Structure 1
Amino acid sequence: MTVLRDWDNLKVLHKNRLSSRAYFISYENKESALTFERGKSQRFKLLNGMWKFYYSETPEEAPEGFFQEDFQVEDWHDIRVPGNWQLQGYGYPHYTDLIYPFPIDPPKVPSKNPTGCYKRDFYIPKNWDGCNVILRFEGVDSGFHLWVNGEEVGYSQGSRMPSEFDITPFIKTGKNNLAVRAYQWTDGTYLEDQDMWWLSGIFRDVSLIARKPIHINDFFIKTELDESYDNGVLKVETKFKNTTNNVGKDYKVEYILLDSNYSEVKNSMESISLEKKEETEVSVSIPVEKPRKWSAETPYLYNLLIILKDSKDEIIEVIPNKIGFRKIELKDGNFLINGVPIMIRGVNRHETHPDLGRAVPFHSMEEDVVLMKKNNVNAVRTSHYPNDPRFYDLCNKYGLYVMDEADLECHGFELIGHYDKITNDPEWEEAYVERIERMVERDKNHPCIIMWSLGNESSFGCNFEAMANWCHKRDNTRLVHYEEDREGKVVDVISSMYSNHERIENFGKMENMDKPHILCEYAHAMGNGPGGLKEYWDIFYKYKRLQGGFIWEWVDHGLRRYTEDGREYFAYGGDFGDEPNNSNFCCDGLLMPDRTPTPGLLEYKKIIEPIKVEEVDLEKGQVRVKNIYDFISLDHVNLHWDISADGKKLQSGILEISDIEAGKSEVLTIPIDFNKKYKLKTDLWLNIQFVLAIDTNWADKGHVITWNQFKLQDNYSREIFSTKEYIPSLNVKEDHKFINIEGYDFKLIFNKLKGEIYNCSYEGVDVLTKGPRLNLWRAPIDNDMYVIKHWKEKGIHQIQYRVDTVETEIYEKQVNINVKTLVSPPNGDWAIECEYIYKIYGNGYIDLSIKGNPRGKLPESFPKIGLQMELPYEMSRVKWYGRGPGESYIDSNEANLYGIYNSTVDKLYTPYVYPQDNGNRTDVKWVSLTDERGMGFVVIAEDNLNFSAHYYTTEDIEKAKHTTDLCKRGFITLNIDYKHHGLGSNSCGPVPLAHHSLKPSSFEFNIAYKLCYEAEDF
């Protein structure tokens, strides 16, 4: 059949699509309007649900005439709307970061252009007679033609923006037929090359809207505050539309401002005269004395009712809207909200769901917003497109600043060396400007939006200048952002991505810059990480013009799948045969795909804490509490404190701290009873938590906002595991291969040929079956992406062990074994001369000292330095004194406090979508592993150590591509590590800081093993 190729005609952005307007629902009366529920409006009807669907590889292969009313579709399949067709059995998901998955030849797209034909019936009720009926699509990827009752209505493209059509001329009361033909590729796709899955179809709500012939077509709400930010003015620009041939006289529009409890604050009435077939605009200014101001910390919302009445004073329609009084401005090199320079503690958020793709349900949006609030996040960037309109309602309600970003990215042009190919081409100007226009018009009434972002990673050129000019002209109440306007030619805020700490420091020092700086993306949270967050925030707080940033990103984009035997995993690029792809680069969030928080989220929560506490005089119990909220006092929190040792609370209490205002600090005295004396052989800690004292709409009373810890006494000593107790004699037998050591209650076999323990048993139960042996390797993490090549070129993953000498000294109650080895990779040009010194006592106490001297052409860094060993499968119960309870690493451990923690080997594991090194615990003084009956051993550090334990080998984890590739071994791999290379965020961001990098140098560390029952008091 002949098909008009609107989808790759740059001159056709739409046909018959209505002008952009604000998102709102019209109601029949004030009572239903104040519910703000779509279902309470008799003028709104969702068309979500099951539609008939036909899939073809090209538009030309779609059924000819399928849009006709009498076309039979009984044999078509059913498909859910909203939804992506690739997740319902048609085509396949395809993930790329910046690669266009087809040849670059704008505006042309491939002839193989997967196409979905949709059909359904819908009904127009009798009470809609005389109304104009609008058909609205909130999002269709990436373009579509529309028919109603066999008649062509129009065309639209631009995936994540609404499209409205007046279908009044095409419908009748009762049953009607709707047909849509959607295309995977349009010329608009060149502007939609975001880092995400390519997913197609009708993926947001579809609705019918009935409008009276004379109605409110649009409105723009602006709030102003005076110079002292005390009194305000509510300004409303309202557009009325007359679709009849009659002149509308003596009409009235009433504006009623209500507070959050629906009590009237102000009321204004305006008379209007509506000329036939014309749009009329009315502007009103309503002064409001001392309005309560909206911010992310104080998300106070007024209720505005816009009521259109006829000459008889009868209501035609009521439109409700939530109002937040707030003022955004640039002053002295900062952006201010309500006169205060704020700090962005933000995240980037893609719309994604593990089962539904981009058809994100409302409850999932709300879950995201609540989780952000609970984790101290105060801002979200809608990377990289306008979100579902209901998401902004949630941000208004709960309190999140929003950088609203246009649906525009053409990153793939960078790969062909012509990054600004269409960005600097005036032929594309209309397509660019339309992207910002449609977003601003839809979202302009949301107080949560503080910045309009022109798009993402598309170079810079004349079309972005045109977008910025339009945006500034249309809305002077917000700021304009675009990261690639590096010189600040048209934007209000200078931005950068993944700048390392040194660059950020330099940005902070710039004195000739009159615009603030934020990081719109930083700290790439891919897999295990990010590291170095604390150092970022130390710099942000240091310099006035640095106002925080948005971490990349909120949630992994993995899609849920199951193995043949029913085990769940999350798929990424390449798992669907999608080529080319960027593998698991879509799994880079602070949440797992199912919204399970990662250790990185807990770390971020701690780093961006809104309350800080520091010691003043701990001997008097004095600490300084600093309120670093931007607006609110600390009257909503209490300070919970306790004194603990050996994992037990010795004292505790609660302090109220309500009088500390935003930006202020105060010295508080914790009422510690210092008259109580404790005979301790361990450390004494003061633990502090700041806890919600009241219920909020995002968390209940008792929710922990942040925490800290101070050491009161440093009493820990290895002497608690001392050998000074009774030491029985040893029975020792030695031959050319083994040293057999037998004590009163243990046996140890040492393999002289391998230079390591072959087996160790306690009371006849095996507790150690192999090792310990020097280990330098970790299963690579995503943030090792670029250093891994160097590590493998240097053969760190393939080191071999040569035993040079084994010397034995045998005494009645003690055996000393000295092992000298050489560690080096095959064909290696570097090595480590290593010495193990064992002292084995008759009471089952084993002291081990490890010395290493690297030489040769050494690697630039090591992944780790430590010991690896194998334990019986049953040694699954873990207890330790150190940081916990969660995973931590050298550059990501602020969230974990010192204490005694209990876990299991299974629970130590962090199931990153792409398996990698995980589960480490830092700053550990001792760790015990025992079986269910308590039989095992404790490892004691002379200084702090790291440990991790898995049912998988390092090689198992490295080879696995998904969590389901991992099969438990019949033993436990235990790592006792001296030092680690930092995590950093170098999958896209910076390498670990210098002091977190493990540079090869001579090392020595000491540990001890004590065989024991768990019941023993250690």
Structure 2
Amino acid sequence: MSTIVPSPAWITNPEVFAVNRMTAHSNHAFFAHVPQPGETSDLKQPLDGEWKVAITNAADVNLAYTPFVVEDFDDSAFACINVPGQLETQGLLNPQYVNVQYPWDGHEDLSAPNVPSLNHVAIYRRAFRVNETLARTAAQAGTITMTFHGAACAIYVWVNGQFAGFGEDAFTPSEFDVTALLHDGENTVAVACYEFSSASWLEDQDFWRLHGLFRSVELTAQPHVHIENLQLEADFDHTSGAGTLDAALQIRHAEQACTIAATLTDANDVAVWEGTQPAAAQTTISSEQLHGVAPWSAESPNLYTLTLTLLDTAGTALETAVQRIGFRRFGIENGVMTLNGKRIEFKGVNRHEFDMRLGHTLTEQDMIDDIVFCKRHNINAVRTSHYPNDQRWYDLCDEYGIYLIDETNIETHGSWSLPGDVPTPDTAIPGSKPEWEAACVDRINSMMKRDYNHPSVLIWSLGNESYGGDVFRAMYRHAHELDPRRPVHYEGIVHAREWSDVTDIESRMYAHADEIEEYLKNDPKKPYISCEYMHAMGNSVGNMDEYIALERYEKYQGGFIWDFIDQALLKQDADGTERLCYGGDFDDRPSDYEFSGNGLLFADRTATPKAQEVKQLYANVRITPDETGVTIENRNLFVSTSDFTFVLRMLADGERIWQAERRFDVGPKQTERFAVEWPGAPSGAEVTYEVAQCLAAPTNWAPAGYELCFGQHTVASAAPLAAESATEIPPSDGAITLGRWNAGVKGAGREILLSDPQGGIVSYTFQGCEFVLRHPQITCFRPLTDNDRGAGHGFERAQWMVAGRYAKCVDTRIEQLDAATLKATYTYELATPQRTKVTVAYEASTSGHVHLSVDYPGASGLPTLPAFGIEWMLPVAYSHLRFYGLGPAETYHDRKCGGKLGVWSTSAYADHAPYLVPQETGNHADVRWAEITDEAGHGLRVSRHGEQTFDVSLLPYSSFMIEEATHQEELPAPRHMFLRLLAAQMGVGGDDSWGSPVHEQHQIPADKPLRLDVDLELI
């Protein structure tokens, strides 16, 4: 029985972070017998499910008098809660989102290691019976432990009224020996889970602040003779093709075991090595060279299974340990990170564990879905930002093939940073403060001991955004003592270069591509990664190609996009409806509001349009077709292209006219050209030669035929194609009317009305259907993106918001050009100090066609334009969009590498991407023609008049409606459609969301002319 008396003083004492907690160890499977392949251990008993809980305040909890821990305590008034689960997502506390600042900043003084006076405590209770297998193991002098795999942020644990232990570090296991506390029949566990403790100072990550027992709780029986820790080195020598295996074991009561029998089997359960050795408390088992083993990589995640059986003198199995392994060698050679002898490039993403309903609690299916998304989008690496993940994640990454930076649960950004990231070193935690050292070293130790054996873990990280200090030197030393092979990463010293020795990798956040290039060109001593880049907030990920281009430098080894999934929580309103909410929507203050919406996935785990760009730019195969063949560059390190199918297509004016399949065998890191006998190109058509890499056979993450990447080469037609006409009639069938106020053109069943006082087209009908609700308005504006707001584009370009909306028509000239053609030219002055004149011209013919041109002449002294063209309100029925341009998802001037030229069909509803805050969306670049129709196919066709393409979007909301909304549900039920035809739109940017402008080459200079030049026809 424990004689330790729990103390409330532990909550604010950084030197007390674990009491009675068991030593960290590997998470290998173990059995009290020799298991069958694939068998699940029967020595574990989950305590997940329904628990009882009550919320109180720390001031009301007297740890010297705890009636709630005894077995017969009446908890009938307690609420029910699911474990694993979080208090906030189950309605027991309010969630809070802050980024840098600590949650109580401003409410109370920030003085470490103190915590807020309002410190909620969740009292959990659960009754359970120890199952037969565990009870039998304990009866045979075994041990039963209780493990809390994730608990935020500090827990006191009692079993049957007896104190079991105390633990902090929300994201690594707290395991307690409860053998002596259990009895026959029903047992009771009670937990006091504190919202804040000194540990909160180390857990200031940029995420929702959520609490409770959010990962599984389980009982585990350990046999009397037990492998307590298993540390494996599965090395692979790429020069000889041989692997070696070294297993270091810590064995409890090893004196009662005679031998250890080791068996290594492959994926087909065929033994590739066997060995036996006498058992000792500290034992190392080593294989001979294993020739012919298949190495592990993300490209070929080959796994083997090591089975270790402890045998007594009679040959009876006392315990069997099982661990899957991958043979690989990773390290830094001559300043370059290599895997199995090859320079590696991380095509990575940062990933918070997040679910819109469950918070930081994930199901295994969530994890599989996340990995499938990564594999399908050519993402080969994940940084576990900014804490160790659920242990199941590592098994899945081993199996599917994902490289990991495993990150210690430390972030103290708010302790050393003032607004604007101004460092205050004296207040930095942990800094060089000795009272924090043991806790920080313990955190990296817990992570490394648990995750050591996973081949997917390539790099250890000391944490995130926590400045520098001698504590990090202690952590670095400890990491290399435990693991001399893997590199150690830490970016925080960018602000404190005197501690540069604590990282083996030069790592930066949100450095621009040109800044990174400066480092790479100046004889760098360390390999470079961007541990965070491409801040994917809202409509973003522009100019990503500039970072990918840095791969030409040997020591540039990739980066990790921020981040994987929008952190938005579902909230149920009083009427029962649910809506996605961000910071501040729960009355949480302080808050950083929508800054948690940075995902390549929306919160519901559907892909954002940005993912299209990432998929293409992260592809390991680069395909360059031309008119006589295709060049294939295979950037894979280990696999050839022989197992992939290449689909060849020829498009004429965007429509497929020919398709074939080929196999092209290009070795890893090789480039080859192949001749292709394309069919003859149709006369006068714009021809596109396309080659796509597809899976030839199904995998565990995608079906056969799934497309990984593509290449296109387009040859322009000899002359621009005229718009296809639904009907062609002679001019004599039409009529032109020049009225006092309006001029009209009739013909081919269509009528066009051009108004003098209204300043534009006021009617365009076909078979009695009106297409003009109001004349198209000039637009020089787009709804601000998150990046626009962060970079101050709204302030700098405010005049463009009203320039077109309030433009004044100052001149109208209507003239009949010939018997079949009428032209109306309207001159507008933009609502800017320069009163720049823009002309809008309609040239209407009795064939029913309208040639529309909108001309901006350029003007000096103005900021660059967000966009230029027209916005046109249409009847709500015209919601279908078919276009010939880059698709299928939205594309922008700096984000169109992933856009594929073709004919695409979508709708206004589908094109309105539900970014967390409504913003610019739905744009399609390089469009040749577009059709805006109702369900019957009736509507408007817009075609380029000359060679210049245009941008188009069709949305159920106007730019101003989108600009005004702060949440998607604020947008009303659609009553109209809004068509934008643009000569140009600036890029969306992507370097960061708090100051970096769209790159100059993707902006629209105000002093250069712009022209929207299109033909219109009702169809």
Q: Does 1:592 align with 2:596?
A: no
Aligned ranges 1:167-246 → 2 under 5 Å: 167-226=178-237, 228-242=239-253
Instruction: Tell me if the contact between 1:115 and 1:181 (Cα under 8 Å) persists in the aligned partners.
Output: yes
Q: Structure 1 residues 250 and 423 mapped into 2: Cα distance closer, same or farther (>3 Å)?
A: closer
3-state SS of 1:325 partner = coil
- Kindly provide the amino acid, as one letter, of the partner of residue 136 in structure 2: N
Deviations 1:468-517 (A, max 9, x none): 11101110121100012345422111111111121122122121x22110
- Displacement of 1:771: 2.5
Q: Does 1:22 align with 2:32?
A: no
Deviations 1:69-109 (A, max 9, x none): 22111221111000001111111110011110114211110
Name the residue aligned to 2:688. Answer: 685
Larger displacement relative to structure 2 (711-720 or 956-965): 711-720
Deviations 1:210-269 (A, max 9, x none): 112221111100122347252222011100113xxxx83452212111111111111121
Name the residue aligned to 1:426. Answer: 434
Q: Does 1:50 align with 2:16?
A: no
TM-score in terms of structure 1 length: 0.94
C-alpha distance in 2 between matches for 1:251 and 1:508: 56
- Displacement of 1:1002: 3.1
- Displacement of 1:887: 1.0
Equivalences, count:
985
Name the residue aligned to 2:328. Answer: 326
Deviations 1:593-638 (A, max 9, x none): 11100111121000111111224x51xx221111110111112201
2:965 counterpart (948, 960, 964): 960
Q: Structure 1 residues 644 and 854 mapped into 2: Cα distance closer, same or farther (>3 Å)?
A: closer
Q: Does 1:93 align with 2:104?
A: no
- Displacement of 1:117: 0.4
Instruction: Tell me if the contact between 1:791 and 1:862 (Cα under 8 Å) persists in the aligned partners.
Output: no
Instruction: Tell me if the contact between 1:498 and 1:989 (Cα under 8 Å) persists in the aligned partners.
Output: no
Q: Does 1:489 align with 2:492?
A: no
C-alpha distance in 2 between matches for 1:716 and 1:878: 26
3-state SS of 2:731 partner = coil
- Displacement of 1:724: 9.3
C-alpha distance in 2 between matches for 1:69 and 1:445: 40
Instruction: Tell me if the contact between 1:804 and 1:820 (Cα under 8 Å) persists in the aligned partners.
Output: yes
Larger displacement relative to structure 2 (428-437 or 556-565): 556-565
Name the residue aligned to 2:405. Answer: 403
- Kindly provide the amino acid, as one letter, of the partner of residue 631 in structure 1: F
3-state SS of 2:807 partner = strand
- Displacement of 1:591: 0.3
Deviations 1:52-80 (A, max 9, x none): 11111335258941001221112211110
Name the residue aligned to 1:283. Answer: 284
Name the residue aligned to 1:127. Answer: 136
Name the residue aligned to 2:642. Answer: 635
3-state SS of 2:414 partner = helix
Identity %, equivalent residues: 29
Q: Structure 1 residues 333 and 3 mapped into 2: Cα distance closer, same or farther (>3 Å)?
A: closer
Instruction: Tell me if the contact between 2:13 and 2:113 (Cα under 8 Å) persists in the aligned partners.
Output: yes
Q: Does 1:626 align with 2:633?
A: yes
Name the residue aligned to 2:896. Answer: 893
Name the residue aligned to 1:652. Answer: 659
3-state SS of 1:719 partner = coil
3-state SS of 2:296 partner = coil
- Kindly provide the amino acid, as one letter, of the partner of residue 324 in structure 2: K
Instruction: Tell me if the contact between 1:118 and 1:180 (Cα under 8 Å) persists in the aligned partners.
Output: yes
C-alpha distance in 2 between matches for 1:155 and 1:2: 8
1:146 counterpart (153, 157, 168): 157
Name the residue aligned to 1:503. Answer: 515
Q: Does 1:547 align with 2:540?
A: no
C-alpha distance in 2 between matches for 1:744 and 1:450: 69
Name the residue aligned to 1:572. Answer: 582
Larger displacement relative to structure 2 (978-987 or 482-491): 482-491
TM-score in terms of structure 2 length: 0.94
- Displacement of 1:584: 1.0
C-alpha distance in 2 between matches for 1:809 and 1:566: 60
C-alpha distance in 2 between matches for 1:169 and 1:86: 34
- Displacement of 1:422: 2.1
Name the residue aligned to 1:664. Answer: 670
Instruction: Tell me if the contact between 2:489 and 2:504 (Cα under 8 Å) persists in the aligned partners.
Output: yes
- Kindly provide the amino acid, as one letter, of the partner of residue 809 in structure 1: E
- Displacement of 1:646: 3.9
C-alpha distance in 2 between matches for 1:565 and 1:945: 44
3-state SS of 1:88 partner = coil
Q: Does 1:701 align with 2:704?
A: yes
C-alpha distance in 2 between matches for 1:266 and 1:733: 95
- Displacement of 1:2: 10
C-alpha distance in 2 between matches for 1:789 and 1:936: 36
Q: Structure 1 residues 903 and 422 mapped into 2: Cα distance closer, same or farther (>3 Å)?
A: closer
- Kindly provide the amino acid, as one letter, of the partner of residue 85 in structure 2: G
Q: Does 1:357 align with 2:359?
A: yes
- Kindly provide the amino acid, as one letter, of the partner of residue 670 in structure 1: V
Q: Does 1:1008 align with 2:1010?
A: no
Q: Does 1:60 align with 2:60?
A: yes
- Displacement of 1:670: 1.8
Q: Does 1:536 align with 2:547?
A: yes
Larger displacement relative to structure 2 (900-909 or 624-633): 900-909
Instruction: Tell me if the contact between 1:730 and 1:814 (Cα under 8 Å) persists in the aligned partners.
Output: no
- Displacement of 1:423: 2.7
Q: Does 1:752 align with 2:729?
A: no
Q: Structure 1 residues 851 and 340 mapped into 2: Cα distance closer, same or farther (>3 Å)?
A: same
Instruction: Tell me if the contact between 1:214 and 1:240 (Cα under 8 Å) persists in the aligned partners.
Output: yes
C-alpha distance in 1 between matches for 2:652 and 2:579: 41
- Displacement of 1:648: 3.5
- Displacement of 1:24: 2.2
C-alpha distance in 1 between matches for 2:977 and 2:548: 38
Deviations 1:346-386 (A, max 9, x none): 11110001111111111101110111111111111000000
- Kindly provide the amino acid, as one letter, of the partner of residue 31 in structure 1: P
Deviations 1:709-729 (A, max 9, x none): 112452461434589963344
3-state SS of 1:5 partner = helix
Q: RMSD of the TM alignment (CA)? A: 2.1
Deviations 1:318-344 (A, max 9, x none): 111001111112112211111101110
Instruction: Tell me if the contact between 1:592 and 1:912 (Cα under 8 Å) persists in the aligned partners.
Output: yes
Structure 2: gaps of 5 or more residues: none
C-alpha distance in 1 between matches for 2:20 and 2:531: 36
Q: Does 1:987 align with 2:993?
A: yes
Name the residue aligned to 1:314. Answer: 316
- Kindly provide the amino acid, as one letter, of the partner of residue 229 in structure 2: D
3-state SS of 1:770 partner = coil
Aligned ranges 1:574-973 → 2 under 5 Å: 574-615=584-625, 618=627, 621-657=628-664, 659-674=665-680, 678-679=682-683, 681-712=684-715, 714-715=717-718, 717-721=720-724, 726-728=730-732, 729-735=734-740, 737-743=741-747, 745-788=749-792, 790-791=794-795, 794-799=798-803, 800-810=806-816, 811-825=818-832, 829-855=833-859, 857-859=861-863, 861-941=864-944, 942=946, 943-973=948-978
- Kindly provide the amino acid, as one letter, of the partner of residue 53 in structure 2: F
